[in-house]
Structure 1
Amino acid sequence: MRVITPPRRCLPAFLLLILAISLNGFARNTAAADVLVATAIALYDQPKYPQGFQHFDFVNPEAPKGGKITLPALGSFDTLNPYVLKGISPSEFSAMYGITQLNEPLMMGTHYYLESGDEPQTAYCLICEWIEYPADYRWVIFQINPKARFHNGDPITAADVAFSYKLLMTDQAHPMFPNNLAAVESVEVLDTHRVRFTFKGQPERSNLLRVGEIPVMSKRFWESHSFGASSGTPQPLSGPYRVSDFVLGSYVTLQRVDDFWAKDHPVYQGMFNFDEVRVEFYRDRTVAFEALKSGGVDFWVENVSKSWATGYDFPAVRDGRIIKEELQHSIPSGTQAFFLNMRRDVFKDVRVRKAISLMFDFQWTNRNIFSDAYARNNTHFPNSEMGATGLPSAAEKALLEPFRKQLPHALFTEEFKYPRYDSAKDLRQAMREAIGLLKQAGWVYNNKRLVNAETGEPLRFEMLINSPSFQRVLHPYVKNLSKIGIEANIRIVDRAQYKVRLDDFDFDMTVYVLPQSASPGQEQRLYFHSAQANVRGAKNLSGIQDPVVDALIEQITAAKSRNDLIAAVRAMDRVLLWNYYTIPHWHLGYHRLAYKNTFARPETSSAMTLGFQTWWLNDLK
C-alpha cells in the first residue's frame, strides 16, 4: 500500500482543510482512527510503481503514433453494449488484443480493460485522482479527476459513477457484475467529484479493487436509452479510442482520440499507438486465416496446434513479410476444460464423472493432433503457483480438515494426477477401472451399451461445441467412450446459439475457458459457488453446489496475505479435482503469433499480458 498526500495542485489550502474535517468525520464511524489516501493499491504487497511514475516498464514511451491496422475476430456481434447479458459485443473477441470499445474504469490494472502487465492484483487510479479508505476497509471514496471527459465533451462526475453501479446491479447486466460488487451496501454521491462506496459483511481489501473496476458510463446517455436491449448505438466512451464506424456482425472501427483527456496520464504512455484499429469478423476460421495469408489482416493469434506446425508454409512467411513467432509469457492459463453439467441426472454421480474423465486419452491426442505442443492440466490453475501439486500443505490441511468427512479420503493421502496412457495397455486398464466405477454407480453392460440397471435407459450425452475444428479432438474421445458402452454425440452450433445455450445451461457437456488471474478472487464465486448455480448467464457451468467449495471461496476472498490466498486456492482446486466436476484440458507457456513485419514492440515485454496495445508500426511516413 502506498499512502500519499492528495496533489496540492488540485486542492488549495482551504479545500485541504475541508478535506481534513470531512475525513475526520468519516473516521469516527469506523473502527480505525486513520483514513488512508492513495493513488494505487495492491491486494497484498506494495504497488510496483511509485507515486509520480512516468510510465510502465513494459512500454516504449517514445513509440510513434499513427497508422491503420486490421485485426481478425472469429464469430459475430449484435450489440455495442458489452455489459449486458443479452447479445454478443465486439469486446468479447477484441479483448485479447487489449484494444476494445469498453468504458474506462475508475482504476486500471485488475480487470481486462487494461490489465497490469508486470504485477498481480494492483490497481492505479485512472478516472479517479486518488482514493480514501479506512484501515478496516469499510468504505472507499473515489476522488474523480475534474479533467475526465466523455468523448462528447460531458464531464465525468460522481453521479456517473453511482449511476453506472446502479446499471450494473440490474438483472439486465451480465451476472459477473452483481457477483463482483455483491459486497457493496450503499453508494453515496458526496459532491460533483466525490463518491463513496460502503461495504457490508466482513471487511475485505479486495472490495476496493472490485469497485475500482466499475466501468464508468454516461448517466445522461443511459437515462434516454434502454440498457438491457441489444444496442446498435455507440455510447459515449472516455478512453483513447472512439467507435467511428461499424456494421453489426461484420466489423467495428476504432479511431484514436487526439484530444483524449488522459493522453498524458502515466498509465497510457507508450500505449494505444495505432490511429485506427478495424476489427473484421469472420464466421469461418479458414477464411480468416486466408485473410492473413493474403494481407487482409495484420495480426494473428494461433490456437490450433496443427496449423502452427504445418500451416505456415506460404509465400508471405517464406519471404519475411509475415513473422511467425513464439513469445514466452507468465500468464496464468485459464480453466479450459470439459464441463459436465450436473443439472443432468447422468452426471450427478462422481463415479460416472470419473469414469468419463478416464476415457479421455490426452497423450494420444497431444501426439497425433497437437504435435506434442501441450502440457496436460492436472489443476484448474495451470501455469500458475495457485495450482495444487503434491500432497496438501499444512496450511491447506488446516482449511480442509473441518470438512474431512465430506471429502474423499484420497484427497489427504494422494497427489491428484490424471493417468498417462503411453500404450494401448494403459488405456485398456483405464477402461476396466471405468467399467468398474460405472457398475458401482448402477450401470450395466447390455448389448454393447451401458444401461441403467433400474430404468434400462442408456448412458448417453451430447457434447456441445461452437468450433468445427474441435471435432478432431472429440472424435477419438467419443470412440473411447463407445468402447465401454457410452453413447456420446457431438453438436456444433454457431457462436450466438452457443452463448444462449450456455447462458441457459442447456447442454450436457461443453468446452469452455474460464479466465484466471495471478491472484484469483471474487470471480471464483461466479465460476464455482452454489449461489451461481442457477443464475442465468453465470459461469458455474457444471452446476456445482458444494458447501466445501463455497467455504473455501470465502477463504479466498478474505485472504490477508498471498500465502493465505495460495493455500485457499490450492485447497479449493483439490476439492474440485477429486470431485471430477470438470475434465481439465491443456496449456501452453507461450503465445503463437503471426504478424506483418511492419510491427515493432518494446524491448521489455509484458510478461503477464499479450501487451499488443504497446506495439506500434515502424514504417510510418
Structure 2
Amino acid sequence: MINRIAPIMLALAGLFVPVNASIAQEPVWRHATALIEEPKYPEDFAHFEYANPDAPKGGTLKLSEEGTFDSFNAILAKGELAVGLNLIFDTLMKSSEDEISSSYGLLAESLSYPDDISQVTFRLRAEASWADGTPVTPDDVVFSFDKAKELNPLQAQYYAHVVSAEKTGDRDVTFRFDETNNQELPQILGQILVLPKHWWEGTDKDGTARDISRTTLEPVMGSGPYRIESFKAGSTIRYERREDYWGENLNVNIGHNNFGAIEYVYFTDANVEFEAFRAGTVDFRQENSASKWATAYDFPAVENGDVKLEKIENPLRAVGIMQALVPNLRREKFQDVRVRRALNFVLDFEDLNHNLAFDALARVDSYFWGTELASSGLPEGREKEILEGMRDKVPAEVFTTPYTNPVGGDPQKARANLRQALTLFQEAGYELRSGKLVNASTGEHFGIEILLSSPSLERSVLPYIASLKRIGIDARIRTVDASQYTNRIRSFDYDMIWNVWGQSLNPGNEQAGYWGSASVDREGSRNFAGISDPAVDELIRMVIFAQTREEKIAAVKALDRVLLAHHYVVPLFYSDAVKVAYSKTLAHPEELPYYGLGFPDIWWSAKAE
C-alpha cells in the first residue's frame, strides 16, 4: 500500500507552525483495507465475484437456534443477545469472502491513515441513513465507539489502544491510537457496529427514555438491510427486508440480502431442533456431529431430494481451529503443568473417534490447526531465533520435543496412557487412596466438573468422564441452560469447559484477549483458561506488530508452540469440511466464495425465481 506522511505541526506562542512544510501532504483516501495482499477489487468494481447480481429477491428463510434470548441491545455483554442482529446494522467496512483480511467501504466510502498508523479517519457516505431516514453521522460513530468501550469489557480489551474517536469533518470521524504501526487497528475499527445516537438518546412509544446500558426487547433501529418485524421473547424473531434500504445498490451489496424475510425459532433441546429440520419447519442446518451426519440423514426428505446435503471446505481454508476442553487455571488444582498434561493422557481420542464419529474426525494439535500458521516439528529459522531470544522464559521442551497428543485406540495403549497420567499426578503431589486420587498433603479428593452449554455435547464427554474416574478422579458433567452458562462463563465460575477458538490467517489484537495477562481477571474476557505468562504476552506483541508476512508467521508459530508446551488445554478434534443440509427451496451461486459459505448473505429462495 502507498501511504503518505501526515502534516507535522508544532504549537508555538499559541500558533501552529509547520515543522517541515515540504513533507506535509494531503491524506490519501483508500476504498479498501488489506492486511496480507493488496485488495483484489478496484475502487469501481461492480460486485464481489462470488455474488449473483441476478439473484431473485423474496421468499422466507426459516432458521433455528439453540437456547434463548432476552435482549436486542447488541453493544452489551449482558443477557442473552438475539441472533441475527447483524442483519439490522451496517458497519463502516464490509469483508470480502474470497480474500484473506480485506474489507471494502460500506457506511464509509473511504479511509485514510498515515505511514505510522497513529490514527485512522473514515469518511462516511453522504447517502448513508438510518431506517427512519436520518443520515448516519460521525456523531453516531463516536457514540457507538465510546459506548462499546464503556459498557462492554470485550470491546474495551479489543480497542484498548484506541484512545479516542472524534468528529473531524462533516462526514469524517478519526480514531487516534496510543501506539504506532499496529496494522490491524484500521481494519478492526472498520468492523465496529454503528448505532443511531439519536434513537438511543430518545424515548420509546410510551415516552420512556431509552438506556443503552441496559438490555432491551424493544425492536432496535439500524441502518442495515433488515428490520425486526415481530418476535416472541426467547422463542422467535422475524426479520423483514427493507425496501427503502439506503445501501441496496452499493457494489458490496449487489447479490446480497436476497431473502424477503428471515425467521429464527429457538429450541432448548438439540434433538427437538433436529426433528424440526427433518419435519421441514427449518430450512438450513449446519451439522457439527460426525456421528449424526453419518447415521441420521437417511430420512425421506433426503432420499427424495427435498433436502440437499453438502460438505464444503471453503470456510475452513482460512480458519485455524482449536477445539478443546479448557481447565480454569484460576483454580489452584490446575496450576501445575503436570496436572494439565495428565488430563490429556486420559482422553482416548482414537476410541472416541471410532465409536462415536465413524473415524470422520482429526485430532487438533495446534491453536492454528489446519493452516500455514500451525507449528510442527522443532522450531527453525526465524521462529527459532524468536524463541532463543526468550529461552529463559519458555519451557525447555519447545527446543527439544515436538508437540504430540497421546495416542490410544486399543486397551493396551489406553492403560499405558492412564498409567502415565497417574505418574504425572503423583509427581504433582497426588496419590491413590482407596481408589480415590487425593492430594497427598491435604487428603482432598481431586475433582473436575465439566460445564457444558448443551446436552448434545455430553455424548462426546461421557467417555472422558469414565476414563477420569478410572484413575480415581471425581469427574462429572454439569449441563446448564443458556443464561446460566453465559453468566458462569463471564464470571469464570467453572472447573473446565468445552470451547472452540476460530483463528483467522492474520492473527492480531484478539490474541491479547484470548491468552494475554491483562485479560485474565477481566470479567467477560475470552481468556477462558486463565493464562498469564510473560513470554506469551511478549509473543502476542510480536504477532500484533509484525511488519512482514514472514515475521508474522514466525511469531504466530512461536506463540503456538509455547501455548502447546504449557498444556493449557486438552485438544479435541475437528472435521476438514463444513457439513450443511438444506431445503431444495434454497439456492446458492455455483461457486461459493473461496473462504466462506456466503450464508445467508448471497443465497436466495428458489421459490422467488
Q: So what's the TM-score if we normalise by structure 1?
A: 0.91
Per-residue CA distance 1:538-573 (angstroms, 9 max, x = gap): 010111001111111111111112222111111111
Correspondence for 2:13: none
1:585 aligns with 2:565: no
1:394 aligns with 2:374: no
Per-residue CA distance 1:401-459 (angstroms, 9 max, x = gap): 22212222211122111021132211222122211111111111111111111111111
Per-residue CA distance 1:209-263 (angstroms, 9 max, x = gap): 1221111111112224211211101222111111111112011111111121111
Change (3 A) 1:429 1:261: same
Return the offset for 1:376: 0.5
Correspondence for 1:245: 230
Per-residue CA distance 1:505-562 (angstroms, 9 max, x = gap): 0000011122322211111111110100011110101110011111111111111122
Correspondence for 1:19: none
Per-residue CA distance 1:72-98 (angstroms, 9 max, x = gap): 11111110112211111123xx5xxxx
Correspondence for 1:297: 282
Q: Equivalences for 1:161-560 in 2 at 5 Å?
A: 161-170=141-150, 172-173=151-152, 175-224=153-202, 225-329=210-314, 330-560=317-547
Query: For structure 1, which segment, 30-39 or 72-81, has the greater mean C-alpha deviation from structure 2 after superposition?
Result: 30-39
Correspondence for 2:107: 127
Aligned partners of 2:575, 2:548: CA distance in 1, in Å?
A: 28
Give the match's secondary structure for 1:291.
Answer: helix
1:618 aligns with 2:596: no
Correspondence for 2:89: 103
Aligned partners of 2:422, 2:127: CA distance in 1, in Å?
A: 67
Q: Which runs of 4+ in 1 moved over 4 A?
A: 24-34
1:69 aligns with 2:54: no
Aligned partners of 1:556, 1:32: CA distance in 2, in Å?
A: 31
Return the offset for 1:27: 10
Correspondence for 1:44: 36
Return the offset for 1:502: 0.3
Query: For structure 1, which segment, 382-391 or 367-376, has the greater mean C-alpha deviation from structure 2 after superposition?
Result: 382-391
The AA in structure 1 aligned to 2:608 is L
**Aligned residue pairs, count:** 588
The AA in structure 2 aligned to 1:184 is V
Return the offset for 1:35: 3.0
Asked if the contact 2:71–2:217 (Cα under 8 Å) also holds between the matched residues in 1, the reply is: yes
The AA in structure 1 aligned to 2:135 is P
1:150 aligns with 2:125: no
Aligned partners of 1:274, 1:383: CA distance in 2, in Å?
A: 33
Give the match's secondary structure for 1:35.
Answer: coil
Asked if the contact 2:308–2:584 (Cα under 8 Å) also holds between the matched residues in 1, the reply is: yes
Per-residue CA distance 1:47-70 (angstroms, 9 max, x = gap): 111111111121111111111121
The AA in structure 1 aligned to 2:33 is I
Q: Equivalences for 1:88-99 in 2 at 5 Å?
A: 88-91=80-83, 94=84
Aligned partners of 2:98, 2:91: CA distance in 1, in Å?
A: 19
Q: Percent identity, please.
A: 37
Asked if the contact 1:382–1:587 (Cα under 8 Å) also holds between the matched residues in 2, the reply is: no
Give the match's secondary structure for 1:254.
Answer: strand
Change (3 A) 1:44 1:27: farther
Aligned partners of 2:322, 2:222: CA distance in 1, in Å?
A: 31
Asked if the contact 1:3–1:38 (Cα under 8 Å) also holds between the matched residues in 2, the reply is: no
Aligned partners of 2:419, 2:187: CA distance in 1, in Å?
A: 50
Per-residue CA distance 1:561-597 (angstroms, 9 max, x = gap): 2222111111111111110111122112211111111
Q: What is the RMSD of the two structures over their aligned residues, measured on CA atoms?
A: 2.0
Return the offset for 1:31: 9.0
Aligned partners of 2:440, 2:272: CA distance in 1, in Å?
A: 49
Per-residue CA distance 1:345-388 (angstroms, 9 max, x = gap): 11010000000111011101110011111110001112221111
- 5+ long unaligned stretches in structure 1: 5-23, 110-115
Aligned partners of 1:233, 1:426: CA distance in 2, in Å?
A: 57
Per-residue CA distance 1:275-294 (angstroms, 9 max, x = gap): 11101111111111111111
Query: For structure 1, which segment, 408-417 or 522-531, has the greater mean C-alpha deviation from structure 2 after superposition?
Result: 408-417
Asked if the contact 2:3–2:113 (Cα under 8 Å) also holds between the matched residues in 1, the reply is: no
The AA in structure 1 aligned to 2:605 is L
- 5+ long unaligned stretches in structure 2: 5-15, 203-209
1:564 aligns with 2:551: yes
Change (3 A) 1:27 1:264: farther
Asked if the contact 1:324–1:594 (Cα under 8 Å) also holds between the matched residues in 2, the reply is: yes
Return the offset for 1:102: 4.9
The AA in structure 1 aligned to 2:453 is N
Change (3 A) 1:157 1:457: same
Return the offset for 1:30: 13
Return the offset for 1:331: 4.0
Query: For structure 1, which segment, 77-86 or 222-231, has the greater mean C-alpha deviation from structure 2 after superposition?
Result: 222-231
The AA in structure 2 aligned to 1:103 is F
Asked if the contact 2:59–2:260 (Cα under 8 Å) also holds between the matched residues in 1, the reply is: yes
The AA in structure 2 aligned to 1:289 is F
Aligned partners of 2:178, 2:18: CA distance in 1, in Å?
A: 16
Return the offset for 1:610: 2.0
Asked if the contact 1:32–1:136 (Cα under 8 Å) also holds between the matched residues in 2, the reply is: no
Within the candidate set 127, 130, 140, 1:160 is matched to 140
Give the match's secondary structure for 1:162.
Answer: helix
Asked if the contact 1:36–1:135 (Cα under 8 Å) also holds between the matched residues in 2, the reply is: no
Aligned partners of 1:266, 1:27: CA distance in 2, in Å?
A: 42
The AA in structure 1 aligned to 2:89 is N
Aligned partners of 1:250, 1:63: CA distance in 2, in Å?
A: 30
Change (3 A) 1:577 1:27: farther
Asked if the contact 2:270–2:455 (Cα under 8 Å) also holds between the matched residues in 1, the reply is: no
Aligned partners of 1:393, 1:527: CA distance in 2, in Å?
A: 26
Aligned partners of 2:27, 2:559: CA distance in 1, in Å?
A: 35
Per-residue CA distance 1:140-192 (angstroms, 9 max, x = gap): 1111111000111110001111111110111x22x221122111122221233
